Each structure stands twice: as structure tokens, then as C-alpha cells.
């Protein structure tokens, strides 16, 4: 390229050079832009890879959506929680990512990250908002799996320049934690119930001591009046039932030791059904079929626990019929369990004779999903406040503890039948034989101590009717001073355990310091500080639980005094 004159370009040449320079500059800039774009794309890919690696490393189920609401990350923990691999979810939007959690398309926590707070409140309960973060607990019915309790945290996702590029949500499965929490609360509740039950048992047994003791005195006084004897007998029998009920409350709240012994199941069945008849609505008919003769159907168990098994089953059956009514059937029979029966029922059973308790109802029944979970602790189909979810778990636990088994048959709208199998035994039941002979008394001197005036008056009346000379005191400190003044004036001391000022053990210890050979009988309506074995270790000659019957009190006194 040249011109006619040295060092000069004509206008056309200048324009051409200018165009060439522009083209060259454009080409250079385009090359640089492409290189920068490639670097930016590579950096973006690397950034996404690092983000994906980090998210994959997280122990909580975590996923990310872009600004268009499409999945751009789905970590391994989310795959494990839902069973859906990441490749199936990448790029999915339009709420499709909710399908692995709920089985339907619906907004979930991550979708509310950019929604005004007022709208969030309409969709979620117990939701917390801290800055840009949302936190919530939810019961999530993961398809093909059991419902899980998940704690979710969601918030916006920012790039390096602080620009919002999407949203992120992490989910933590807290189902086991919630179960442990429920067990802890249940344990606390049972401890509180136990403390309350102990206090009630002490006071109630003192009341029963007066009712049953004075009833016995009337029975002894009016032996020839048949009608009065019948009435008084009913009062005394009601008192016995009340005493048994107190023991059941203490057992359920774990405040008394189990008394495992050979026992007949039939009397327990009759007693439970008698109690239920007065509490169930008239729309529920009770049918009873005890195909076991007296002295048969014996198992080795705690009677209170067998009572609890039957009560739990009957209560559940009644609940299933509470709206439409129906028939509650309870049957008891002896069966022989062979190898084939074991295979079809429960492989943990041993071949041999069993007592079978069957409880059936004509209620709404259960489907397979519910039936498979009924023995799980804290599982319940009842409304909040109607049940703890422990009834059937307790039934199964007690039955298994005695080497038995529980089976259930149920279909929707066809009712439910529970069979409880308990190993039968040939051991004899210990018989309580009440002596028909006259009560044996004496002329010894007795110091009777109890802070309840009704018990003191009753004790004094009973003992004086048996011929004893009685000094009765309602104040333990006053009783101690009376004894200290003349320790040889008494042949026996009977004292309550729980009293203001000094406990029964405290006053017994003080009395034995004054006179080492003084025999002492300790009585209590209930105390978590003492039992029969501990009382004997403390030097007590005998231990009597209230409410005591006159015959037992008389026998205890003679036994202690004659040993002396």
C-alpha cells in the first residue's frame, strides 16, 4: 500500500486502513471475549462441582433450586432419605421435587424462601424465621416408607458477589429423637403419677382401714342378723376391691414390687368384667365364656399384671365400638400348643399346655398397615389426649415376659380379636384360709401409735375387744415421752410408718435405745421408704400393710408376743 507523495495516504487509503484496524481490533476483542467466556464457564462448572461436592458431603439431606425453581443439586443423603437418585431429579421444577417427600406436587419449605412472611404462616405451623432463614418441623409421609419427622432449614443461596442465585434446603430426620423425647416425657409423667399414687395410696388405705375395720367389728357384733350381715358383707367386699384397686395403681406406676405366683386367671376375668359393666355405655354388650372349672387355668404371674392385660384389651375394644356400640366378648380356655401351632403363631413359644384369653369386638377393625404397628410403643390411632400408645405394647411385654404370646386378627369393618397365650402350670394356688375360730387375744399391754385419729380409735377398740390393755397416741413425740417415762409398762408397740415429727422407723429406733427388747410391729398405708424385708432389717418384729383385717392383726400380735 503506497501513495504518490512520500509519507502521505490519500483519503481512500486512510479509510481502508481505519476499517482494517477496526476489524483487527474486533477480532482481537472477540478472541479475548471467547477466552474469558470459556474461563468463566469453566470457573462456573468448577464452582458448581465444588458446591456439589460440598453438598454431597453434608450428613443432612440437602437440595438446591435455581431462580426458576429447578433442582440443581440433590445430595446423597437426600437420595438415601427418599430412595430417588440425583440424576432423576436434576433440572426438575414445577414442584416435582416434592413428589419424593409427599407423593404429590405441592410447595415445600424451600418454596417459601422468597414468599412474604404472612403467606408462609398460612402454610406452615410452628415455623421459625431467623433473618433470611426458615426453620420448621413436619411429619413427612415419604412414599413407600413410614412417616418420618423432619426438621427443615431453608434459605437463599448467594454467589461470590452477594447476588441471590437460588435457594437451599436441608432436612434432618429427628424421628428417633422425638421418640426418645416422648419416652422421656412418659417416664417423667409416670414418675409424677407414681409420686401422686403413693400419696393417694397412703391416705386412701388409712380411710379404708377405718371403713373395713369398723365393718368387721359390726359383723362380729351382729352375727345373728342375716340381713345386716349381708349388707355389711357387701361393704367389706367393696373395701377389698378398693384395696385391690390401690395395689393396681401402685403396680402400674411401678411403686410396688411384682408378686409372681401361681394364680387362677378366671377370677381376674370375672373381676375385670364386673368393673367394666359399670363403666361402659349400655350400647356395648358384654359376653363372657369361661370354659375352665374352679382350680384350673393356673399360670405363674402377677395377678395385677394379668388384670392390666385384660383391662387394656377390653378398653381398646370398647373404644372401637364407642360410636355405634357392639359386642365385647371375653373367653377363657385351656389349649394345647403343638409344633404346628407354634409355627403359625409365634416361634418363641414352647410346646405344651396354655391358658388362652380371647378378647373380641365388633368394632371398625384395622387394615394391614395399622395391624402391623399396633404393638409399637407410642403408636396410636386415637385422637390426642385419648391414648398414650402404650396399652398394647404393655400387653405384649407382659405376655412375652411370662413366656406367652399375643396374636391378632382384624379386618376393616369386621372387628378385632386378640388371643393371649400364657403357659399353664400344675402348681397349686396358695389358698387364703380365714379361720372360723374365735380370734385369739390376750391381756398384754400395748402402745398403739398412729397420726390418724380414726385409725387410733379403731385400733384401740379392736385390741380392747381382744382383751389387751391399750394406750393410744396420735402424736409420735408424745408417745415417745410416755414410753420413756415407764418403758416396762408395755409388752408391745404398734406404730404407723408415715407420721409428722418422727417416722415409724425413727420412733422405733428411739424406743429400742430406751429398751432393747421391746417388740415393735410397723404398719403403713404406703411408703416408698420401707417394705417388709427392710422393716425386719431395722429390728421390727412384723410388718403389716393397711388396711389390715382384724384376724391378721390379731395373729400378728400373738405371733410376736409368743416369740418374745
Stretch 515-538: mean pLDDT: 86
- Of 553, 503, 543, 499, the C-alpha closest to 520 is 543
pLDDT in tens, 194-208: 777 777 888 888 888
Residue in the structure block whose three cell numbers are 396410636: 380
Q: Which residues contact 456 (CB under 8 A, 6 or more apart)?
A: 448, 449, 450, 472, 473, 474
* Whole-number pLDDT of residue 253: 60
- Residues 55 and 174: their CA atoms lie apart, in Å, by 20
Quote the pTM value.
0.54
* Whole-number pLDDT of residue 384: 47
Tell me if 171 sits within 8 A of 62, measured CB to CB: yes
pLDDT tier, 1 (very low <50, low <70, confident <90, very high otherwise): very low
* CB neighbours of residue 355 within 10 Å: 25
Whether residue 89 is predicted with pLDDT greater than 90 in this model: the reply is: yes
Higher-pLDDT residue of 430, 131: 131
Stretch 405-422: mean pLDDT: 90
- CATH level 3 topology of 445-563: Rossmann fold (3.40.50)
Stretch 225-231: mean pLDDT: 87
pLDDT in tens, 278-330: 778 889 999 999 888 877 888 999 888 888 899 889 988 988 888 888 999 99
Give, rounded to a whole angstrom, the gap between the first and last alpha carbons of the chain: 144
Whether residue 223 is predicted with pLDDT greater than 90 in this model: the reply is: no
* Whole-number pLDDT of residue 417: 93
pLDDT tier, 385 (very low <50, low <70, confident <90, very high otherwise): very low
CATH class of 259-431: alpha beta
DSSP 476-498: HHHHHHHHHH-GGG-SEEEEESS
E-strand stretches of 317-364: 326-337, 352-361
* Whole-number pLDDT of residue 435: 40
- Residues 142 and 108: their CA atoms lie apart, in Å, by 13
Stretch 403-407: mean pLDDT: 89
Higher-pLDDT residue of 160, 458: 458
Whether residue 534 is predicted with pLDDT greater than 90 in this model: the reply is: no
Q: Which residues contact 186 (CB under 8 A, 6 or more apart)?
A: 378, 388, 390
DSSP 119-155: HHHHH-SS-EEETTEEEEEEEE--TTS--EEEEEEEE
Q: Is the dihedral of CA 92, 96, 98, 101 positive or negative?
A: negative
Say whether 45 sits in a helix, a strand or coil.
helix
* Whole-number pLDDT of residue 487: 93
DSSP 367-391: -HHHHTTTTSTT---SPTTT--S-H
Of all residues in the chain, what percent carry a pLDDT higher than 90?
33
DSSP 424: B
Return mean pLDDT, the chain. 83
Torsion angle defined by CA atoms of residues 178, 181, 187 and 190, in that order, rounded to the nearest 10 degrees: -70
pLDDT tier, 437 (very low <50, low <70, confident <90, very high otherwise): very low
Q: Give the right CATH number for 58-173 from 2.102.10.10, 3.30.450.20, 3.40.630.90, 3.40.50.261.
A: 3.30.450.20
Stretch 45-66: mean pLDDT: 81
Range ranked top by mean pLDDT from 14-18, 160-164, 386-390, 514-518: 514-518
* Whole-number pLDDT of residue 9: 60
Amino acid at each position: 500500500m503506497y501513495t504518490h507523495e512520500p509519507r502521505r495516504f490519500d483519503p481512500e487509503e486512510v479509510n481502508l486502513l481505519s476499517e482494517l484496524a477496526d476489524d483487527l481490533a474486533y477480532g482481537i476483542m472477540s478472541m479475548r471475549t471467547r477466552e474469558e467466556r470459556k474461563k468463566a464457564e469453566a470457573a462456573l462448572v468448577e464452582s458448581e462441582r465444588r458446591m456439589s461436592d460440598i453438598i454431597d458431603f453434608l450428613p443432612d439431606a440437602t437440595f438446591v433450586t435455581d431462580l426458576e425453581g429447578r433442582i440443581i443439586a440433590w445430595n446423597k443423603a437426600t437420595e438415601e432419605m427418599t430412595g430417588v437418585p440425583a440424576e432423576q431429579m436434576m433440572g426438575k421444577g414445577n414442584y416435582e421435587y416434592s413428589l419424593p417427600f409427599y407423593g404429590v406436587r405441592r410447595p415445600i419449605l424451600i418454596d417459601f424462601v422468597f414468599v412474604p412472611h404472612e403467606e408462609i404462616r398460612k402454610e406452615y405451623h410452628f415455623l421459625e424465621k431467623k433473618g433470611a432463614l426458615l426453620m420448621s418441623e413436619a411429619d413427612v409421609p415419604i412414599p413407600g416408607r413410614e412417616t418420618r419427622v423432619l426438621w427443615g432449614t431453608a434459605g437463599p443461596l448467594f454467589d461470590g458477589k452477594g447476588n441471590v442465585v437460588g435457594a437451599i434446603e436441608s432436612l434432618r430426620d429427628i424421628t428417633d429423637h422425638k421418640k426418645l423425647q416422648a419416652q422421656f416425657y412418659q417416664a417423667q409423667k409416670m414418675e409424677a403419677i407414681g409420686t401422686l399414687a403413693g400419696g393417694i395410696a397412703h391416705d386412701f388405705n388409712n380411710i379404708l382401714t377405718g371403713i373395713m375395720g369398723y365393718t368387721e367389728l359390726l359383723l362380729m357384733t351382729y352375727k345373728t342378723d342375716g340381713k345386716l350381715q349381708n349388707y355389711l358383707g357387701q361393704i367389706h367386699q367393696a373395701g377389698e376391691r378398693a384395696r385391690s384397686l390401690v395395689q393396681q395403681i401402685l403396680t402400674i406406676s411401678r411403686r410396688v414390687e411384682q408378686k409372681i405366683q401361681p394364680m387362677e386367671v378366671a377370677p381376674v376375668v370375672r373381676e375385670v368384667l364386673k368393673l367394666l359393666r359399670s363403666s361402659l355405655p349400655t350400647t356395648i354388650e358384654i359376653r363372657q365364656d369361661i370354659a375352665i372349672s374352679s382350680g384350673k387355668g393356673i399360670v405363674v404371674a402377677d395377678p395385677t399384671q394379668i388384670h392390666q392385660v385384660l383391662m387394656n384389651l377390653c378398653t381398646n375394644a370398647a373404644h372401637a365400638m364407642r360410636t355405634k356400640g357392639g359386642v365385647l366378648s371375653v373367653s377363657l380356655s385351656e389349649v394345647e400348643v403343638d409344633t404346628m401351632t407354634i409355627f403359625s403363631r409365634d416361634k418363641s413359644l414352647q410346646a405344651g399346655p396354655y391358658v388362652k384369653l380371647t378378647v373380641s369386638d365388633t368394632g371398625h377393625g384395622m387394615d394391614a398397615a395399622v395391624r402391623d404397628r399396633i404393638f409399637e410403643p407410642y403408636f396410636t390411632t386415637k385422637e390426642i389426649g385419648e391414648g398414650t400408645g402404650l396399652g398394647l405394647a404393655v400387653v405384649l411385654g407382659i405376655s412375652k415376659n411370662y413366656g406367652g404370646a399375643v396374636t391378632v386378627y382384624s379386618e376393616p369393618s369386621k372387628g378385632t380379636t386378640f388371643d393371649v397365650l400364657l403357659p399353664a402350670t400344675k402348681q397349686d394356688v396358695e389358698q387364703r384360709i380365714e379361720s372360723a375360730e374365735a380370734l385369739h387375744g390376750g391381756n398384754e399391754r400395748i402402745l398403739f401409735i398412729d397420726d390418724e385419729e380414726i385409725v387410733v380409735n379403731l385400733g384401740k377398740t379392736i385390741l380392747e375387744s381382744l382383751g389387751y390393755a391399750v394406750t393410744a397416741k396420735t402424736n409420735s413425740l408424745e408417745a415417745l415421752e410416755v414410753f420413756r417415762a415407764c418403758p416396762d409398762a408395755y409388752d408391745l408397740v404398734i406404730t404407723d410408718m408415715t407420721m409428722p415429727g418422727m417416722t415409724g422407723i425413727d420412733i422405733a429406733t428411739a424406743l429400742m435405745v430406751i429398751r432393747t427388747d421391746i417388740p415393735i410391729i410397723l404398719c403403713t398405708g404406703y411408703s416408698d421408704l420401707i417394705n417388709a424385708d427392710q422393716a425386719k432389717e431395722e429390728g421390727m418384729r412384723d410388718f403389716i400393710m393397711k388396711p389390715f383385717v382384724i384376724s391378721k392383726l390379731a395373729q400378728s400380735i400373738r405371733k410376736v408376743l409368743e416369740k418374745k
